[in-house]
Amino acid sequence: MASGKREKQTDRGLYEWVQAVVCSVLAIVLMFTFVVRIIGVSGQSMRETLQNGDKLLVLNSCLCGDYRRGDIVIFQKPEFENGELIVKRVIATEGQTVDIDFAAGQVFVDGEALEEPYIREPTWLDEGLEFPITVPDGCVFVMGDNRNDSKDSRYEGLGPLDTRHIVGRAVLLVLPGETADLDRREWSRIGTLN
């Protein structure tokens, strides 16, 4: 009798363990499908903030609410860059006017010069869009932090970005990419993004 009782307890314990594992896996799959995802950075357009190969934790767009200046967003536009995921920073939102003085390398939003400690160098590269430009409803104006090596909203083929193309907002650098010069990772860069 005692051995039959032990077998039932063992079977029940095994069943509960398998059930816990299945529920955990299901919860993780649902979370990475509907809440967050991990996305890799490809290219140099966000240097110095982000490096090629960095892995970002991205909050899905349905949970982001309104986008604000300074947000780092990931978007996909099929007709731009072969439909790849692209990472840029929001510079202005709907209704705001963006102007760029390419001679001085300065970006203005609603007539105020932006303080941009995150950029690699001043904005010298003109991509062809006519300025000033007012960001249309439902759109944001995005630029890379490495302004002179970035195709962004200054580019006529993109212009102000429809927020429906945004996949999500990057909230955390979870794994740094390898630095090109030292072939090592800079672990101190892990953390929240601003």
Q: Compute the distance between CA of residue 170 and CA of residue 16 in angstroms, rounded to an integer.
A: 37
Three-class SS state of 144: coil
CB 37 within 8 A of CB 31: no
Q: pLDDT at position 14, please?
A: 76
Tokens of 95: 């209704």
Q: pLDDT at position 33, please?
A: 65
Supply the pTM of this predicted model: 0.78
Higher-pLDDT residue of 139, 30: 139
pLDDT tens track for 40-59: 888 889 988 888 889 998 88
Q: pLDDT at position 175, please?
A: 83
Asked whether residue 182 carries a pLDDT value surpassing 60, the answer given is no
Higher-pLDDT residue of 191, 42: 42
- Report, as residue numbers or ranges, the catalytic residues: 45, 88
Nearest to 170 by CA among 50, 58, 79, 9: 58
Q: Compute the distance between CA of residue 129 and CA of residue 16 in angstroms, rounded to an integer.
A: 61
Higher-pLDDT residue of 194, 174: 174
Length of the chain, please?
194
C-beta neighbour count of 128 within 10 angstroms: 9
Asked whether residue 70 carries a pLDDT value surpassing 80, the answer given is yes
DSSP per-residue string spanning 43-73: SSTTTTTS-TT-EEEEEEGGGT-S--TT-EE
**Burial group, residue 188, by CB count within 10 angstroms (0-12, 13-18, 19+):** exposed
Q: Compute the distance between CA of residue 129 and CA of residue 143 in angstroms, rounded to an integer.
A: 13
Mean pLDDT of the chain: 83
pLDDT tens track for 123-169: 988 888 889 999 999 999 999 999 998 889 998 878 899 998 898 99
CB 99 within 8 A of CB 150: no
CB 177 within 8 A of CB 54: yes
Q: pLDDT at position 134, please?
A: 96
CB 177 within 8 A of CB 56: no
